[in-house]
Chains A and B, each alone.
Chain A
Amino acid sequence: MNAAPASKSYALPAPLPLDSGQALEGARIAYETYGELAEDRSNAVLICHALTGDQYVASNHPITGKPGWWERMVGPGKPIDTDRFHVICANVIGSCMGSSGPASEASDGAPYAMRFPVITIRDMVRGLVALLDGLGIEQLHTVVGGSMGGMQALSLAANWPSRAARVLVIASTARHSAQNIAFHEVGRQAIMADPAWADGDYYASGSSPDNGLAVARMAAHITYLSEEGLTAKFGRRLQDRDAKSFGFDADFQVESYLRYQGSGFTQRFDANSYLYITRAMDYFDIAEEHGGKLADAFAGTSARFCIVSFDTDWLYPTSESRHVVHALNAAGAKVSFVELSAPNGHDSFLLPHEELDRVVKAFVE
């Protein structure tokens, strides 16, 4: 099952302080790099991954064997050109692909499970900054992220303003809305309602809350698509049958697709990580961290920003991106913004889009 070589792993030299007031002892961060680091260390690009993403941005996933999640964007001659840039992509803390998370061993040798401290987006970024310190990278050429990755990019810019010269935020937001939180809560409740969840202590039991996690993924997956995209892809077409079954099989293609997405996801993701990371996203509100005014979060920044949204993204709609742009403008930051047209909702940032390629390439040049 594990064909690809394991990621590099960085052991943090000191406990990682957390927004909750706790500290994470003995934390590790798993990461991948692509392309050579220039002698003056000026060409490092940090790519921050989304909720269920990982460090395998441009290499095969060790569990699924699938290509990297942004291989069309990152590689030799690609918009983020690894012939020019040293690309770093790290698994966030709280996740389950090699960085410290609820499935990792605590100091007593047993998995943390729900003993893992609740983390925030800023805590994830604090971990990434510790990694950059360890790698000797003082300032990133660019920090890039889509969705939750964009939240990390904004958090880095707000809290460690000297660490990135350019900040590229795609299909993201500076705060989680009530609707965002609501969808996440559905997912968490699905996991916790699964008897196999066992209050999070399932690691030694030989079973895991796959049913709950699959339902969480199915609900979330709908939010990543658009009505237009779903209609175009599935309509009311039936799955491998000529007539409705008058039962509760996956009669419709869209049902079959969601079930497939849900069960596939459980092969590669830890249910407790899903709880922790969605919580971190729900707690995310950069303005709240900076006295209630988003512009104050970016006061005095000298970074260049580029914000990109998609017209069919209803999870992090253009209005949220514009809110960030107004704040950056009010802070006097150099900011560009573009709303791209794409049929596939939030997921558009991961799909082929020539205009997105052009904007990304142009911004990192």
Chain B
Amino acid sequence: MSGSLNTLRPDLAAIARHVARRTRVLDIGCGEGELMAVLEGEKQCDARGLELDPALVARCVGRGLSVVQGDANTDLSDYHDKAFDYTILSQTLQTATRPDLMLDELLRVGTRAFVSFPNFAHWRTRTALMLGGRMPVTRALPVTWYETQNIHHVTVDDFRELARAKGAKIERTWFFANERAIGPVGANWRAEFAVFQLSR
């Protein structure tokens, strides 16, 4: 069962399009392995995954993917420096115990890193907080504050600042709203999701 680029979530599709063929990729928080399946099927990549949930690992194994169950907060230290051409962290950064240290690990293990995350500064989130006075529950952040796994909400501008502080070079960015790509102008207001391609 291999996936198709056209059915991927927009942030994953953007990443898939920009991964070079026949490269080594580590997908951190790979879920059911949709992105890995596309990278192996359409880009002939050697894709490896790291996933916390054993049920999702089992599903990946069923797709013929190589996925190790583990915690991205601790287990990235098991991988050698530059063991991969790309490390990918999609919609997981905001769940990390220390997003700053995780970014360091992404750039240590991979030559390049893709990071995607929901933008907490999207106008919908801002409006909900400002007018409602409550932690936002929106399309992009659908879970209540006490149940959400997102313990470190981040905005586009915050992430740019983190990348700068970490000496990471931002090579490319993509922004999405309403499941469609949008331009970079005013992204910190307009983007529901962001994808950064980084190197160091």
> In the complex the two chains form, is B68's CB within 8 Å of A362's CB?
no
- A325 near B68 (CB under 8 angstroms)? yes
A-B contact pairs, 25 of them (CB 8 A): A304-B64, A322-B70, A329-B79, A329-B83, A330-B80, A334-B66, A336-B60, A336-B65, A336-B66, A336-B68, A337-B67, A337-B69, A337-B70, A338-B54, A338-B57, A338-B58, A338-B61, A338-B69, A355-B55, A355-B58, A358-B58, A358-B62, A359-B57, A362-B59, A365-B62
Q: Is A335 an interface residue (CB 8 A)?
A: yes
Closest to A305 in B: B66
State in angstroms the CA–CA spacing of A337 and B57 once bound together.
8
* Residues from chain A with Cβ under 8 Å of B58 in the complex: 338, 355, 358-359, 362
Chain B residues numbered 62-103 whose CB sits less than 8 Å from any CB in chain A: 62, 64-70, 78-80, 83
* B55 → chain A closest CB, angstroms: 7
Q: Mark A307-345, 1 if CB is under 8 A from B, else 0.
A: 000000000000000100110011000111111110000
Measured CB to CB, the closest approach of chain B to A354, in angstroms, equals 10
CB neighbours (8 Å) of B79 from chain A are 329
Binding site for B on A (CB under 8 A): 304, 306, 322, 325-326, 329-330, 334-341, 355, 358-359, 361-363, 365
Question: B26 — nearest CB in chain A belongs to which residue?
Answer: A329
Q: A160 to chain B: closest CB distance in Å? A: 22
Chain B contact residue count (CB 8 A cutoff): 20
Give the shortest distance, in Å, between B5 (CB) and chain A (any CB): 22
Tell me, rounded to whole Å, the shortest Cβ–Cβ distance linking A196 to chain B: 47
How far apart are the CA atoms of A358 and B62 in the complex, in Å?
A: 8
Task: Determine the residue in chain B with the shortest Cβ distance to A356.
Answer: B58
A336:B78 contact, CB within 8 angstroms: no
Q: Are B78 and A304 in contact (CB under 8 A)?
A: no
Separation of A9 and B59 alpha carbons in the complex (Å): 39
- Please, which residue of chain A has its CB at the minimum distance from the CB of B65? A336
A341 to B80, CA, bound (A): 28
With the chains together, A355 CA to B57 CA distance in Å?
A: 10
Residues of A within 8 A of B78 (CB): 322, 326, 329
How near does chain A come to B134, taking the closest CB pair, in angstroms?
Answer: 35
> Which residues of chain A come closer than 8 Å to B70, judged between CB atoms?
322, 337
- Least CB separation from B67: chain A residue: A336
| Contact A337–B62 (Cβ < 8 Å) | no
User: Could you tell me the distance in whole angstroms from the C-beta of B19 to the nearest C-beta in chain A?
Assistant: 18
Asked whether B62 lies within 8 Å of A362 as measured between CB atoms, the reply is: yes
Considering the chains assembled together, what is the distance between the CA atoms of A329 and B62 in angstroms?
19
Q: Give chain B residues whose Cβ lies under 8 Å from the Cβ of A341.
A: 54
User: Is the Cβ of A340 less than 8 Å from the Cβ of B54?
Assistant: yes
Given known A330-B80, A337-B69, A338-B69, contact A355–B54 (CB-CB < 8 A):
yes
- Besides A336-B67, A337-B57, A337-B67, 10 new A-B residue pairs in contact (Cβ under 8 A), listed by A number: A304-B66, A326-B78, A330-B80, A336-B65, A338-B57, A341-B54, A359-B61, A362-B61, A362-B62, A363-B61
Residues in A with CB closer than 8 Å to B68 are 325, 329, 335-337
